Amino acid sequence: MTKEFLQLKTSQELADILKDYVRPFHQQQKLMVDLKEAWRRILAETLKAGEDLPPFSRSAVDGYAALAEDTYGAGPDLPVYLDVIGEVEMGKSTSLELNRGEVAAIPTGGMLPRGADCCIMIEDTEKIPDGRIEVMSDYAPGQHVIHQGDDIKAESVLLEAGSKLGAPEIGALAGLGYYRVPVFPALEAAVISTGNELISPDEERRPGEIRDINSYALGALLEEWGHKPRLYGIVEDSRQALLRALEECRKSDLILLSGGSSVGVKDLSIDVINQTGSPGVVLHGLAVKPGKPTILGFLKETPVLGLPGNPASALVIASLIIPALIRLIRGLSLPSKKEVYLTAITARLEQPISSAPGREEFFPVALSRMNNGREKDVIIGARPIAGKSNLITTLVESAGLVRIAAGQEGLPAGSSVEVIPLTGERGLLFRKEIDKDG
Amino acid sequence: MTKEFLQLKTSQELADILKDYVRPFHQQQKLMVDLKEAWRRILAETLKAGEDLPPFSRSAVDGYAALAEDTYGAGPDLPVYLDVIGEVEMGKSTSLELNRGEVAAIPTGGMLPRGADCCIMIEDTEKIPDGRIEVMSDYAPGQHVIHQGDDIKAESVLLEAGSKLGAPEIGALAGLGYYRVPVFPALEAAVISTGNELISPDEERRPGEIRDINSYALGALLEEWGHKPRLYGIVEDSRQALLRALEECRKSDLILLSGGSSVGVKDLSIDVINQTGSPGVVLHGLAVKPGKPTILGFLKETPVLGLPGNPASALVIASLIIPALIRLIRGLSLPSKKEVYLTAITARLEQPISSAPGREEFFPVALSRMNNGREKDVIIGARPIAGKSNLITTLVESAGLVRIAAGQEGLPAGSSVEVIPLTGERGLLFRKEIDKDG
């Protein structure tokens, strides 16, 4: 029990290990789903627009399609008079063609007739009995017209592979006729909790026992990232029980093992992973706080992640490793630092954070918003959540994590910090390469 | 067709109208779900901790439970010698009780024996043959101990009604034995697209026709907020078709009608809503850009929302109204301005935004992150997305919306702006009351 952790790896070494060992086995495998089922899915292919959107130039107003130059100089006191030669019908092609001095009635969304270059709002016109209209305003070419391809041009990239499909993306796919879309299949992730002290939350608790938090919290995190958790349940800290659990889960795409942080139990996990499949354990111990006792192994191609037993630590390390792992499984590259930080909220640290140098640290903070009444002067305060960082209510209270690089010795109060959401799908790990733009 | 919109309402008048008309019919109705099914659900009751978490004081390390004062002054050159009187077994209650000079072996997570007030790390000790240990370090009371109730104390509020259940919340519920949790049932929302120009995305498109975007984009947005969209389909702009659609959807909890922005079609929608149920239309026209042609009505208690036909406008107005509406249906209050802005990202406007005064405006912006190499000096740039704001690809590209209050005449480049996510579950509408803290 006195054996210390093997050499701790930095998160950048972790990134290299992931790149070396993860096989992109889902790279070719794609699932075609109906657009109605596509919400939150991750696009598996880069899709281009197959046609212009809108596919024809349309009016943005109710009124008259016209030639702008016919209105030059028009005003309330100097109307121009134009001939109405017909009406564009909604949803139909129009064969109308305008010459100088002519307009056509058009509804919002109607197809612009040939020759027209603007649409006059009905409010700027007056019908006169001879079939003409009076126009009381001066129009510019293009005014109140949505041109063919204004939204997107044919052959432009619509969405990149790896895009998460939210409401705007699904709308764009609908608009371009992508009724079925190629997405990545959800991964099945087995979640095993180990520990002789653990009971299920629905069991009667006896003294010395603790309810299993990790199965449920990790399951929810996997769902947040679009995957299918398979809660295997609680396994006692014995070689036999662990071996059986790993064997029974090895068909899953990913295995999460969380529990007992004691050195003896960790050693047991390592032995069992090495015994169950090759190459076995490839990382043991991270120079990341919280997360020192992290284990990463592979049973052939199936990753096994040994997470800390403390629920908050387990969630932070899951967020550090799983999104990165899954991107690589899917044949995508790791995000850049800039991408990881793009969803971060910039805040002002209200209290100092002290951090031992030599370890990268993720510190949960709560956000509050101070606003002195002027819209321009909003200050977001980040309050480090006091107390022991491995408590689950700490994460409930927190809005995200402040990352303190290994070389930094804490941060003084008043520092500008970046608060990264815990459950962001880009995760916490970024690629090593230095981007030009940081 | 020349009839102008009725008096436009401000978003704060909209909030008042919602408060007047929305009946909290789901206030009493709650659904008990298994914790495994609880992800993304909204908690329907405020839940307190039924017991302390952890329920007993635990060791945070592998080592020995001890009395700190026995170690005072100890160091590498001046060890103290303590008697090991037994071992705490993981997951069991311990009857051990320590007196001065005594320690008990304890694993990480083991129950602290009576009399102990700290845990000595195994690395700071050496076993000696006579059954005693040498301690080479000085300990403070409480060190390496997670005390009973450190995470949360019995009777403290664990989660407020209205909380969204993510991974940390679900973990906390598991830890406190909430295996089944009271959540709000998802609402069924009927989504009707109107317009003679519309076709389904899987149909062959003919000239003058446009694919229905709104059904899919609004459906995804409803899913984002945890609801069940029921895509009714495309309805032509005729009184009979609209009447039948509303009748067939009136059993839904909420009806969304989007489409034809022409004044004639809007007038038709208003007539049909008024004809289908009382009180009928209660709001017609918003002083919000985009969103002027918005309609809100009620068929008895069922809200009917008439959204702009432009997909991007429809999504912005849906985000302005639906989350607020649903909070009120559920008996929750509208969020404060501070709450709405809490998920916003503060950014520096890269280009000026011009906005006509008198209307509140929501402007989509894309974010970019400029980092000059120093962690402290990250600048997020917000770039107004050029072009016509009613394009769906505009929202794909945008990270969120900048709100320009009705009194503001645009914003100069370099302004500090708040970028509110479009799909945030708090929505865009906040309550009128001025909070003390802004």
- Tens of pLDDT, residue by residue over A226-244, are 999 999 999 998 999 999 9
Query: Do A90 and B210 lie within an 8 Å CB cutoff?
Result: no
The percentage of chain B sitting over the pLDDT mark of 90, rounded to a whole number, equals 70
Q: How many angstroms separate the CA atoms of A371 and A390, rounded?
A: 32
**Domain chopping of chain B, boundaries:** 11-28+185-329, 31-50+154-183, 58-146, 344-420
Contact residues on chain B for A317, CB-CB shorter than 8 A: none
Nearest chain A residue (CA) to B172: A392
Homologous superfamily assigned to A31-53+150-183? Molybdopterin biosynthesis moea protein, domain 2 (3.90.105.10)
Predicted confidence band of residue B1 (pLDDT cuts 50, 70, 90): very low
pLDDT in tens, B225-272: 999 999 999 999 899 999 999 999 999 999 999 986 666 777 899 999
Query: Do B150 and A391 lie within an 8 Å CB cutoff?
Result: yes
Contact residues on chain B for A371, CB-CB shorter than 8 A: 338, 341, 437-438
Stretch A317-325: mean pLDDT = 96
- Separation in Å, CA of B231 to nearest CA in chain A: 9
Q: Is the pLDDT of residue A367 over 90?
A: no
Contact residues on chain A for B109, CB-CB shorter than 8 A: 195, 197, 210, 260-262, 309
Task: Find where tokens 């298994």 sit.
Answer: B34
Of B168, B196, B341, the CB nearest to A217: B168
Q: Is the pLDDT of residue A355 over 90?
A: no
**pLDDT score at A435:** 45
Most B CBs within 10 Å, among A33, A46, A52, A90, to test the B interface: A90
- Separation in Å, CA of B359 to nearest CA in chain A: 16
Query: Do A264 and B159 lie within an 8 Å CB cutoff?
Result: no
Predicted confidence band of residue A260 (pLDDT cuts 50, 70, 90): low
Q: Among A19-28, B246-255, B282-291, B349-358, which is the least confidently predicted range?
A: A19-28
Query: Do B196 and A159 lie within an 8 Å CB cutoff?
Result: no
**pLDDT score at B438:** 37
Query: Do A345 and B346 lie within an 8 Å CB cutoff?
Result: yes
Predicted confidence band of residue A340 (pLDDT cuts 50, 70, 90): confident
Sign of CA pseudo-dihedral B232, B233, B234, B235? negative
pLDDT in tens, B327-365: 999 989 999 888 888 778 888 899 999 887 889 999 999
Nearest chain A residue (CA) to B368: A342
Whole-number average pLDDT of chain A: 90
Q: How many angstroms separate the CA atoms of B186 and B184, rounded?
A: 6
Task: Find where tokens 């299949």 sit.
Answer: A185
**pLDDT score at A358:** 86
Whole-number average pLDDT of chain B: 90
Of A2, A210, A309, the CB nearest to B122: A2
Contact residues on chain B for A209, CB-CB shorter than 8 A: 91
Distances B144 to A361, B107, B112, B125 between C-alpha atoms, Å:
19, 12, 11, 15
- Residues contacting residue B262 through CB under 8 Å, at least 6 positions apart: A62, A90, A107, A108, A109, B1
- What phi and psi values does residue B416 have, to the nearest 5 degrees? -85, 125
**pLDDT score at A391:** 81
Q: Is the pLDDT of residue A377 over 70?
A: no
Contact residues on chain A for B39, CB-CB shorter than 8 A: 219-220, 223-224
Q: Is the pLDDT of residue B161 over 70?
A: yes
Stretch B284-302: mean pLDDT = 92
Query: Do A171 and B395 lie within an 8 Å CB cutoff?
Result: yes
Query: Do A151 and B391 lie within an 8 Å CB cutoff?
Result: yes
Stretch B12-32: mean pLDDT = 85
Nearest chain B residue (CA) to A261: B108
Identify any residues that bridge with A121 across adjacent strands, giving them in sequence order. Answer: A63
Contact residues on chain B for A211, CB-CB shorter than 8 A: 174-177
Decide: A138 and A78 in contact? Cβ < 8 Å.
Answer: no
Decide: A195 and A238 in contact? Cβ < 8 Å.
Answer: no
Residue A48 tokens read as 């281009």
- What phi and psi values does residue B373 have, to the nearest 5 degrees? 95, -20
Identify any residues that bridge with B403 across adjacent strands, giving them in sequence order. Answer: B362
**pLDDT score at B375:** 46
**pLDDT score at A27:** 57
Nearest chain B residue (CA) to A52: B210
Nearest chain B residue (CA) to A199: B91
Q: What is the pTM of this model?
A: 0.91
pLDDT in tens, A108-127: 899 999 999 999 999 999 99
**pLDDT score at A371:** 56
Query: Do B91 and A214 lie within an 8 Å CB cutoff?
Result: no
Chains A and B form CB pairs within 8 A to the count of 355
Q: What is the largest CA-CA distance in chain B?
A: 101
Of B93, B378, B398, the CB nearest to A208: B93
pLDDT in tens, A40-68: 999 999 999 999 999 999 999 999 999 99
Q: How many angstroms separate the CA atoms of A68 and A138, rounded?
A: 8
- DSSP structure class, residue B108: T
Most A CBs within 10 Å, among B93, B164, B197, B341, to test the A interface: B197
Decide: B56 and B151 in contact? Cβ < 8 Å.
Answer: no
Q: Give, in degrees to the nearest 5, the angle at Cα A136 between A133 and A138.
A: 115
Query: Do B260 and A418 lie within an 8 Å CB cutoff?
Result: no
- Residues contacting residue A333 through CB under 8 Å, at least 6 positions apart: A327, A431
- Separation in Å, CA of B55 to nearest CA in chain A: 8
Predicted confidence band of residue B368 (pLDDT cuts 50, 70, 90): confident
Homologous superfamily assigned to B58-146? Molybdopterin biosynthesis moea protein, domain 3. (2.170.190.11)
**Is CATH 2.40.340.10 correct for A344-420?**
yes
Cis peptide before B290 (omega within 30 of 0): yes
Decide: A113 and A130 in contact? Cβ < 8 Å.
Answer: no
Query: Do A108 and B261 lie within an 8 Å CB cutoff?
Result: yes
Q: Give, in degrees to the nearest 5, the angle at Cα A308 between A303 and A310.
A: 140
Most B CBs within 10 Å, among A194, A393, A403, to test the B interface: A393
Beta strands in A107-251 (DSSP E): 118-121, 125-127, 132-135, 145-146, 157-159, 180-183, 188-194, 198-199, 210-211, 228-235
Of A172, A377, A396, the CB nearest to B392: A172
Query: Do B262 and A107 lie within an 8 Å CB cutoff?
Result: yes
Predicted confidence band of residue B425 (pLDDT cuts 50, 70, 90): confident
Query: Do A388 and B150 lie within an 8 Å CB cutoff?
Result: yes
CATH architecture of B31-50+154-183: Alpha-Beta Complex (3.90)
Query: Do B221 and A167 lie within an 8 Å CB cutoff?
Result: yes
> Of residues A39 and A388, which shows the higher confidence score?
A39
Decide: A176 and A158 in contact? Cβ < 8 Å.
Answer: yes
Sign of CA pseudo-dihedral B208, B211, B217, B223? positive
Contact residues on chain B for A375, CB-CB shorter than 8 A: 405, 408, 418
Query: Do A221 and B91 lie within an 8 Å CB cutoff?
Result: no
Sign of CA pseudo-dihedral A399, A405, A406, A410? negative
Contact residues on chain A for B201, CB-CB shorter than 8 A: 35, 173-179
Q: Is the pLDDT of residue A167 over 70?
A: yes
Contact residues on chain A for B210, CB-CB shorter than 8 A: 54-55, 58, 91, 109, 175
- Separation in Å, CA of A299 to nearest CA in chain B: 27
**pLDDT score at A285:** 92
**pLDDT score at A438:** 37
**pLDDT score at A337:** 86
Query: Do B36 and A219 lie within an 8 Å CB cutoff?
Result: yes
Decide: B8 and B285 in contact? Cβ < 8 Å.
Answer: yes
Predicted confidence band of residue A394 (pLDDT cuts 50, 70, 90): confident
Of A111, A197, A216, the CB nearest to B174: A216
Q: Is the pLDDT of residue B27 over 70?
A: no
Q: Is the pLDDT of residue A24 over 90?
A: no
Q: What would the CATH number be for the domain defined by A11-28+185-329?
A: 3.40.980.10
Query: Do A170 and B346 lie within an 8 Å CB cutoff?
Result: no
> Of residues A256 and B3, which shows the higher confidence score?
A256
**pLDDT score at B208:** 92
- Separation in Å, CA of B390 to nearest CA in chain A: 9
Query: Do A377 and B416 lie within an 8 Å CB cutoff?
Result: yes
Stretch B64-84: mean pLDDT = 95
Contact residues on chain A for B53, CB-CB shorter than 8 A: 392-393
- What phi and psi values does residue A75 have, to the nearest 5 degrees? -165, 180
**pLDDT score at A264:** 72
